[in-house]
């Protein structure tokens, strides 16, 4: 009897160790998720009675332009900022990991600070910079580069570029730290051998550093993909998702439908559909990773 009890204790121990997480997960994630699925079939505006409307919400979503536009916006913003951001991060990281660099600790900190500063604060500062009468336009006008203020937040493409610049500012440092870690794990002997063979700094970067960093760069791209599709604060504060939906990401759309229009049912539909799209994307990326191995 005693023996059986101990065996049971021993067998279930690991499950009891992970129980706290799973209880939280079920209460705060899983149950709301199931509830969202249910809501997506209703026409709920916050009242007590929920009317079941079947697939009407899904029809609205698939035939309307908003959702597809929001996915397209995310893809555009992704294309605008990810290559530029990774290139910058690579340059900074290789500078910081090179032997002639001083004050590396200081620079690492400085580049990382934007990532841990409040997004809202940064967004408001950028709002002041990009305004039609903002700092950036004033500077460019005084320097004689432009004669008319650039409509940074007023036309679709400029608005997307502004959001992208803000994202670059926030995330370059973070990616730099990741890449720096990768670079420092590359054995020094490789570079020494290259130097003996007479390869220049640029050549050794091209033929040694880059190939060995491929996987890490791919990892950064995956992280950025997830981040881009769930962008919210930056476009919401800069442009409220405008002009004419140009910077409306799926999450901005969900927010507007639920808290501005009180269309909780439809907002749930968007969330569920968005979840499916992200799922497919993540699976595709996992496949790519596997092939890279």
Partner 1 sequence: MNAMKRMSAAVLCSVLMLTLILSGCSGKTGESKSEGEAAGKKTKITVWIWEDAKNVIDLNMPEFKKQYPEIDVDLHVLAQSDVYQNFLIAASSSDEVPDVVNLESLRLSQMIETGGLLDITDKVAPYKDKMNAYKWADATKDGKIYAMPWDSGPVVMFYRNDLFKQAGLPYKPEDVAAQLKTWNDYMKFAKQLKEKTGVAMLAESKSQTDGVFFQQMLWQRDLWMFGKDGSVQLDNPEVIKTAQYFVDLVKNGYVYEVKPWSDAWYSSFQQNKEATIVGASWYEGLLPTLIDPDASGKWSVVPMPKWSADDKYGSAIDGGANLAINKNSKHPEEAWKFIEFMLGKEESQLKMMKEGGLFPSLETTYNDEVFKGKVPYFNDQPVRTLYIDAVKNVAPITYTKDYPLANELITNAFAEIFLDNKSVESVFKKAAAELRQKTGRK
Task: Identify the residue among 36, 95, 107, 134 touching partner 1 (CB under 8 A).
Answer: 134
Interaction mask 174-203, partner 1, x per CB under 8 A:
------------------------------
Question: Residue count at the site for partner 1 (CB under 8 A)?
Answer: 40
| Part of the chain binding partner 1 (CB under 8 A), chosen from 23-31, 81-89, 97-105, 112-120 | 23-31
Least distance from partner 1 to the Cβ atom of residue 20, Å: 6
Listed as own residue / partner, the contacts of 223-226 with beta carbons closer than 8 Å and 24 or more positions apart are 224/78, 224/81, 224/82, 224/85, 224/86, 224/171, 224/175, 225/78, 225/281, 225/285, 226/278, 226/282
245 binds partner 1 (CB under 8 A): yes
Shortest Cβ 48–partner 1 spacing (Å): 5
| Min separation Cβ 52 and partner 1, Å | 14
Indicate whether 243 belongs to the interface with partner 1 (CB under 8 A).
Answer: yes
- Binding status of residue 118 toward partner 1 by CB under 8 A: no
Using rule CB under 8 A, residue 148 touches partner 1: no
244 binds partner 1 (CB under 8 A): yes
| Binding flag, residue 206, partner 1 (CB under 8 A) | no
Q: Is 64 left (phi over 0), alpha (psi -120 to 50) or beta?
A: beta
The reply to whether 138 sits near partner 1 by the rule CB under 8 A is no
Whole-angstrom distance, CA of residue 182 vs CA of residue 108: 15
Size of the chain in residues: 293
Q: Does 139 bind partner 1 (CB under 8 A)?
A: no
4 binds partner 1 (CB under 8 A): no
Cα–Cα nearest to 252, from 103, 74, 14, 86: 74
Our finding on whether 156 is near partner 1 (CB under 8 A) is yes
Site for partner 1 in 40-69 (CB under 8 A): 45-48, 60, 63-64
5 contacts partner 1 (rule: CB under 8 A): no
Residue 36 makes contact with partner 1 by CB under 8 A = no
Q: How far is CA 140 from CA 124, 136, 148, 162, 259, in A?
A: 20, 6, 10, 16, 39
Q: The tokens of 241 are what? A: 């998702």
Q: Which is nearer to partner 1, 15 or 100 (CB)?
A: 15
Tracing tokens 């499916």 back to the chain, one arrives at 276
HEC states along 239-275?
HCCCCCCCCCCHHHHHHHHHHHCCCHHHHHHHHHHHH
Residue 52 pairs with which residues in a beta bridge? 42
Backbone phi, psi, residue 52, to 5°: -80, 125
User: In the chain, what are the helix, strand and coil shares in percent, each to the nearest 5?
Assistant: 75, 0, 20
Q: Which residues bind partner 1 (CB under 8 A)?
A: 6, 9-10, 13, 16-17, 19-20, 23-24, 27, 45-48, 60, 63-64, 128, 131-134, 153-156, 239-240, 242-245, 256, 259-263, 266
């Amino acid at each position: 009897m005693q023996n059986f009890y101990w065996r049971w204790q021993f067998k279930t121990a690991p499950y009891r160790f992970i129980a706290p997480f799973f209880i939280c997960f079920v209460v705060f994630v899983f149950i709301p998720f199931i509830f969202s699925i249910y809501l997506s079939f209703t026409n709920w505006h916050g009242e007590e009675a929920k009317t079941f409307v079947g697939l009407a919400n899904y029809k609205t979503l698939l035939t309307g332009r908003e959702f597809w536009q929001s996915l397209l916006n995310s893809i555009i913003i992704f294309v605008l900022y990810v290559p530029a951001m990774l290139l910058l991060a690579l340059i900074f990281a290789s500078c910081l990991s090179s032997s002639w660099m001083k004050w590396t600790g200081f620079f690492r900190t400085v580049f990382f600070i934007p990532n841990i500063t409040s997004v809202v604060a940064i967004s408001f500062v950028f709002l002041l910079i990009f305004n039609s009468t903002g700092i950036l336009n004033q500077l460019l006008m005084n320097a004689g580069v432009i004669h008319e203020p650039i409509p940074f937040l007023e036309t679709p493409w400029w608005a997307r570029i502004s959001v992208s610049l803000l994202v670059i500012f926030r995330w370059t440092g973070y990616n730099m730290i990741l890449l720096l870690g990768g670079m420092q794990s590359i054995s020094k002997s490789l570079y020494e051998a290259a130097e003996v063979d007479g390869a220049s700094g640029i050549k050794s970067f091209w033929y040694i550093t880059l190939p060995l960093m491929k996987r890490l760069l791919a990892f950064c791209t995956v992280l950025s993909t997830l981040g881009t599709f769930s962008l919210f604060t930056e476009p919401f504060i800069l442009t409220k998702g405008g002009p004419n939906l140009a910077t409306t990401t799926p999450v901005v759309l969900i927010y507007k439908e639920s808290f501005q229009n009180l269309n909780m049912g439809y907002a749930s539909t968007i969330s569920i559909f968005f979840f499916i799209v992200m799922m497919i994307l993540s699976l595709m990326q996992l496949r790519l990773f596997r092939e890279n191995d």
